A and B are shown apart, each in its own frame.
Chain A
Amino acid sequence: MHISTTSWHRYMALPAFALFSLFFLLPLIQGAGLSLTHWDGFSTPEFAGLDNFREFFRDERALGDVKTTVLFALGSAPLLNLAGLSLALLLNRSFSGRNTTRALLYMPAVISPMIMGSIWYLLLQPRRGLLALLFEQSGITLEGNWMLSGPSALTVLVLVNVWQYAGMTMIIYLAGLQSIPAELYEASAVEGATGVQTFRYIVIPELLPALKINVITNIIGSLSVFDVIIALTGGGPGYDTESLSIYIMRMCYGNKTGYSTAVALMLFVIILIPVIISLRFFDSMEDAA
């Protein structure tokens, strides 16, 4: 008697698919439905067609938040990868205290971003933060207020975000670096390759899977940034540093729940575009390698 083992495997995926449907597909479909309604969050939703999506493209605050979110991601995602890769290359060498250094660099990533943001606020707050007080005691008065201008506030937010998550990116790169066979380095040394050539032709191609994971997770994380902004600037001054995630939350609880769901779907699309481009790029790189 022939027993098909393949079909059993299919059935084993059912529980996972059921959970995925319950906690992802169903809310997504419901969300798409709600985005087509005027709903304050508690009364009966009224069908509104595509009104919410049309409103999004007319909403100056929302469009400003898209700009802020994209600028944040453009700063944060590349810097995170750069910092993570640099740290991984440094800490891939052997020296005393290496494990402690790795643990210390990774530690910020496991602390709540809200707590982290609040601590950074206490350190960096203009006039009253620890840094300002230390400078003052040294006889230096820091002029200006970084929180008052959108660009400077955004720069600080990017740097704090990079400081927090560089350790996590580093760990993934480190795992990738350690999986590169020593023979490849030995062969390149025998061939007389320079350090730059080894990095270009050995390290980078072998690190492609780690690069892919880091680039994509950092794009997603940076475009959906929330906590660090809430803790450090609250999105201010005005709405200058408000991200789209914060806007969605504020609209959702500001009696515009239907509209906020439409904006959430727009954010989904905004994240999806660079993720698909990156995936295709890395797939073609992997094929070429």
Chain B
Amino acid sequence: MSGIHDMGGNLGLGAVDVRDDGVGFHHEWEARVFAINRLLLERGLYTLDEFRYAIERMEPERYLAASYYERWLHAIEVLLAEKGILS
């Protein structure tokens, strides 16, 4: 079964907005989410596969509404809760 994340070949999408401001992180919290994920992966609290799958399991509407690092934050929160690390 293909999830919302599986976007290859989807029809009906418009032109790519190729503008680029050259900024990797637009908010401080985005950089922090990036770093949190890296540190937790390094500690072996979850694997990259588990992380990716936690994003893929998001509800379609929520997935589409969320920004890139918002999806990351969601995945981290879900994995830590599922593993009983955070309540």
- Co-complex (A, B): no
Residues of chain A whose beta carbon lies under 8 Å from any beta carbon of chain B: none
